[in-house]
Structure 1
Amino acid sequence: MSKNKVNDLRSALELLRQIPGQLVQTDVEVDPEAELSGVYRHVGAGGTVERPTRKGPAMIFNNIKGHPGARVAIGLLASRERVGYLLDCDPKRLGFILKESVTHPLPPVVIPNEKAKCQEVVYRASDPDFDVRKLLPAPTNTPEDAGPYITMGMCYASNPETGESDVTIHRMCLQSRDEISIFLQPGARHIGYFRELAEARGEALPISVSIGVDPAISIASCFEPPTTPLGYDELQAAGALRGEPVELVQCLTINERAIANAEYVIEGEILPHVRVAEDQNTHTGKAMPEFPGYTGPANPELPIIKVKAITTRRNPIMQTCIGPSEEHVSMAGIPTEASILVLLEKMYPGKIRNVYCASSGGGKYIAVIQFQKKVPSDEGRQRQAALLAFASFAELKHVFLVDEDVDCFDMEDVLWAMTTRFQADRDLILIPGVQCHPLDPSNQPEYSPLIRAKGNACKAIFDCTVPWDQKDRFVRAKFKEVDPKHWLPDLF
């Protein structure tokens, strides 16, 4: 396999084509309304998607009903192994290279418009035939969705007071020929704060949405505070991951920049004091499937992006994902792993062997921390490490603590440790009445009278580590080290 340089969506797909089992495509027509996601559910969605599903290859659909000539790529990041290929890294070390990317940032650069691939074709909203629903082959995940969703759009906007920029991913529903609703979770993303500042001034917030980009950008955009505080542009981390700056370009119709090699760019403004019901066109009461595996309720009042233009590459490729798929685990979980590593390595240098934000938690609810006790005084520090992770990342619900001889990326091994190294009456630590995540349906007052408000629930630490003074009693069976390639060269 040749080492292709990955710097956009197309070079990423080309790399995967050269790796057996990592990319498939079809020319059979598929309906973007629920059918496309229904197909990929069986091919490679994984994550918290209802079974039957599995981890499998990324997929390109070359024949989209109602969108002649359009193509849709899905599942690019729906495998930790595949993310390792795309970032040229051992999958178990991804958290570490993302940690380094934050601490050694490489700022983006702006290139001339004539060099920007994302502006090869231009569609302006002033054209009477302009319609985002026709230009964007955005799928729905299920028949109940509020509408077609952009799920892999890199939203880029700037603080109207300081000029500092930020990139994040939000769920965006196509509402009309030139309007797109955007869900901005209160207090969770910087662009939401920028919108509030602009609205307080009675101003619209210019925003670009870049779709179909280098995977390094998709993953780096999912960093959150405190690792990337207000004023930190995550594109700096994406540049560090690639060893070269992300290229931006000035938009044509708004005072903002976009990712220059994106397949699609939406240029628009978030209007002040304008809200729409997310499901105003379908009235299903549902939004789209979210990472916990459930379909979220439609929001009755969301801000809208008034679209000014859409620019594209020639023959653009729409990139999308299934909300609860393994793709979300990669994008949300790996940056969270890196963030926990940044925090815990400062407090316990040399003792944190690795961190895994498990698929069963959607990359956000569960963290497995591999902690090595080296001296008697380390006993108990593993629990302090879990408390630190909880204090910094409110969305975490469960932390599993395991020893260095347990593979933290193998949940079967984690459950083995829980079975043989855990007693609930002494090793389960409950922390009730703290902020968790509002999309967890068990974090609701309807679930328990002890829950006072939505998202205010109970966290738990499962300490599956061996007590220091009993290490000799819990030694795993040791097997002879051999190289299996000698016997099965084609398998290994």
Structure 2
Amino acid sequence: MEATRTNTDTAGHNAHPDLRGWLQWLSATDRLAVARKGLSLIDELAAVAKKLENERAVLFPSPGQHSIPVVANLFADRSWIADSLGVPTGELLSRFQNAVRHPLPWVEVMAAPVQDVVHHEVDLLKQLPIPKHNEHDSGPYITAALLIARNPKTGIQNVSIHRCQISGPDRIGVLLLPRHTLHYFRMAEEAGEALEIALVIGVHPACILASQAIAALDVDEMEIAGALLGQPVEMVKCKTNRVRVPAHAEIVIEGRILPKVREPEGPFGEFPQYYGPRADREVIQVDAITHRKNPIFHTIVGGGTEHLLLGGIPREATLLEHLQRSFPSVRDVRLTRGGTCRYHLAVKIDKASQGEPKNIIMGAFGGHYDLKQVVVVDMDVNIDDESEIEWAIATRFQADRDLVIISGAQGSKLDPSSNNGISAKMGIDATKPLATEPMEFKRIHVKGVENVDLDAALQDDPKAAFARIIAG
């Protein structure tokens, strides 16, 4: 569905855009299914969500006999993400780019709906409907929480998403990859201190998108979220620590990442469609839970469509910004579904000089270490169609001339083919040479195909028409 609302309409009747407003819009546009009550939190909920992941969001009332409902599949297509921001799909990346360029500082409030109910005595699985998702996951996981941490020295906040295993009534195992949260934690750990954090569950899609921006250290992603929304995000101080959290979130888990403590975490079904292995990881000690009255718990099925899109689109926007700084010929980028919306990047360019695609390939690898393959194509290739990308490789690429290989680079530790994150990179120049005979790379085209009116061209009752033709 193409977005039809303006940014002002995104807030609509809701002065503070939140998860509930987005769910109301999904319901109003027939994109929200409601499951029967009482589905099991162990596998069954995730199975239903997975079945509908490319069609509809799903709200689960009373899952596992919990009073708190669960929602999954907030996004089944990139057009839904554009819709959540009130822009056409074609303007999605430019909107995100503009938000990164012009962040909007958040504002602090003294009282907030997310603190309507406060639990200082914590039992995570009794108090929250936390599902188990993939078959061999080690148990229930919180998968859609924003982990907000403060720089121990400056107080500047970072927002990210991490897989969070329930390890005990008030204990969570967390995977910290080599990014900003881990940097903050190491700063705290070296000082012998715990890192104050909050896990925020159930926010407006803009906050989730912003958390995935490839931003510099000490850039607060909630300011990017504010720019996406067109209004500052209201934030409130946690009850047990100094972290500020979105005031209109559904649920907040307050805690600390403990220094010098590691405990087993995993396996867990990840975005590469494999299980992240079990290993000793960092540990969160939970100090309190706060939530709205009648809260809604958001979950993301690991490795599903929602997982891939929410991570992929902010990375696309950031990589496009990164490339366009040095290469004005770059017009668009896509992290492909087949490449898990992380590892394979297609870059569309208006080619200006020979050799330029290889420079763009090297520039792209510098944009994010997760990238494993970059394909550069011409303007006539639809990068939303993976078969078109493959066609460009098949007809415009020669391995002995157009291939770039880099060995021993940093990659994703979640890629099982890597050596603990050390990975090879491959770049493919699938563009046409600039100087060719006019018909050498001329794509075939059936004249008038764009103007065909099938209702006018085809008969209404094909079975009857066929029978008449056969009967003579």
- Normalised to the residue count of structure 2, the TM-score between the two structures is 0.90
Offset at 1:457? Answer: 2.3
- Alignment partners' CA distance in 2, 1:290 and 1:181: 15
From 424, 432, 436, the counterpart of 1:458: 424
Query: Superposed, which structure 2 residues align to 1:130-141 within 5 Å?
Result: 130-141=122-133
What is the identity, as a one-letter code, of the residue corresponding to 1:13? L
Alignment of 1:147-186 (within 5 A): 147-185=139-177
Question: Aligned-pair distance for 1:470?
Answer: 2.1
C-alpha separation between the residues in 2 aligned to 1:277 and 1:429? 39
Structure 2 partner of 1:254: 241
Contact 1:37 1:142 survives alignment (8 Å): yes
Letter in 1 for 2:94: F
Deviation at 1:77, TM superposition (A): 2.4
Q: Say whether residues 1:37 and 2:46 are aligned partners.
A: yes
Percent identity of equivalent pairs? 37
**Mean alpha-carbon deviation: is it higher for 351-360 or for 78-87?**
78-87
Partner AA of 1:289 in structure 2: G
Aligned-pair CA distance for 1:319 = 0.4
| Cα distance in 2, alignment partners of residues 437 and 92 from structure 1 | 29
* Alignment correspondent of 2:316: 337
In structure 1, the residue matched to 2:230 is: 243
Q: Which is further off, 428-437 or 104-113?
A: 428-437
Instruction: Output the CA distance in 2 between the equivalents of 1:471 and 1:148.
Output: 61
Specify the code of the residue in structure 2 equivalent to 1:175.
S
Distance 1:131 1:484, change over 3 A: farther
AA matched with 1:482? N
* Paired residue secondary structure (2:64): coil
Q: Name the CA distance, whole Å, in 2 between partners of 1:195 and 1:405.
A: 46
What is the alpha-carbon distance in structure 1 between the residues aligned to residue 189 and residue 452 of structure 2?
63
Give unmatched runs, 5+ long, in structure 2: 458-472
For residue 270 of structure 1, what is the aligned residue in structure 2? 257
Counterpart of 1:482 in structure 2 is: 451
Write the distance in 2 (CA, Å) between the matches of 1:353 and 1:487: 37
Partner residue of 1:63? 62
The answer to whether 1:196 aligns with 2:183 is: no
Are positions 1:467 and 2:433 aligned together? yes
Show CA shifts across 1:100-121 (max 9, x none): 11101101111122xx111111
Quote the Cα distance in structure 2 between the aligned partners of 1:314 and 1:487. Answer: 55
2:369 equivalent in structure 1: 394
SS at match of 1:216: helix
| Partner SS, residue 362 of structure 1 | coil
Of residues 330-339 and 258-267 in structure 1, the stretch that sits farther from structure 2 once superposed is: 330-339
- 2:272 is equivalent to residue 292 of structure 1: yes
- TM-superposed deviation, 1:471: 6.9
In 2, Cα distance between equivalents of 1:57 and 1:171 = 24
Of 419-428 and 104-113, deviating more is 419-428
Shift of 1:483: 8.0
Check whether the contact 1:432–1:459 (CA below 8 A) recurs between aligned residues.
yes
- Quote the Cα distance in structure 2 between the aligned partners of 1:65 and 1:14: 24
Unaligned runs of 5+ in 1: 45-54, 279-285, 445-453
The separation in 2 between residues aligned to 1:361 and 1:321, in whole angstroms, is 19
Q: Deviations over 1:238-277 (max 9, x none)?
A: 1111110111101112222111111100111112222221
**Counterpart-to-counterpart distance in 1, 2:413 and 2:149:** 25
Q: CA deviation at 1:328?
A: 2.1
Q: Distance in 2 between matches of 1:168 and 1:4?
A: 23
Q: What does residue 469 of structure 2 align with?
A: none
**Per-residue Cα deviation, 1:79-106 (whole angstroms, up to 9, x for no partner):** 2121121122232432221111110110
Counterpart in 2 of 1:327? 306
8 A Cα contact 1:329 1:358, kept in partner? no
Distance 2:411 2:197 in 1: 29
Matched residue of 1:166: which SS?
Answer: strand
Q: Work out whether 1:105 is the aligned partner of 2:99.
A: no
Residue 470 of structure 2: aligned partner: none
User: Which stretch of structure 1 is more off in the superposition, 74-83 or 397-406?
Assistant: 74-83
Q: CA deviation at 1:202?
A: 1.5
Residue aligning to 2:463: none
In the alignment, residue 101 of structure 1 is paired with which amino acid?
Answer: A
1:27 and 1:172 map into 2 onto residues whose CA distance is: 27
Question: How many angstroms apart in 2 are the aligned matches of 1:244 and 1:369?
Answer: 32
Count of residue pairs brought into register by the alignment: 444
2:218 and 2:441 mapped to 1: Cα distance? Answer: 47
1:359 is paired with a residue whose SS is: coil
Equivalent residue in structure 1 for 2:207, among 217, 226, 247: 217
TM superposition shift of 1:339: 1.5
User: How far apart, in 2, do the equivalents of 1:87 and 1:273 lie?
Assistant: 41
Q: Secondary structure at the match of 2:11?
A: coil
Q: Tell me the residue number matched to 2:396.
A: 421
Could you say which residue in structure 1 is the equivalent of 2:460?
A: none
Matching of residues 308-319 of structure 1 within 5 Å = 308-319=287-298
Q: 1:288 to 1:196 in 2, by over 3 A?
A: same
The 8 Å contact of residues 10 and 86 in structure 2, kept in 1 or not, is answered as: no
Match of 1:315, SS state, is coil
On the 8 A contact 1:4/1:15 being kept in 2, the answer is no
Q: Distance in 2 between matches of 1:485 and 1:91?
A: 26
Root-mean-square deviation (CA, aligned residues, Å) is 1.9
Paired AA for residue 88 in structure 1: G
Between 1:85-94 and 1:260-269, the stretch displaced more is 85-94
SS of corresponding position for 2:155: coil
Q: What displacement does 1:487 show? A: 5.5
**Is the partner of 1:274 in helix, strand or coil?**
coil
Q: Does the CA contact (< 8 Å) of 2:43 and 2:132 recur in 1?
A: yes
Instruction: Find the counterpart in structure 2 of residue 121 from structure 1.
Output: 117
Name the CA distance, whole Å, in 2 between partners of 1:34 and 1:463. 43
Which amino acid letter does the alignment assign opposite residue 19 of structure 2?
A: L
| Conserved? CA contact 1:326–1:362, under 8 Å | no
**Aligned residues of 2:333 and 2:345 also touching (Cα < 8 A):** yes
Against the structure 1 CA distance between its residues 143 and 86, is the aligned structure 2 distance closer, same or farther, given a 3 Å change threshold? same
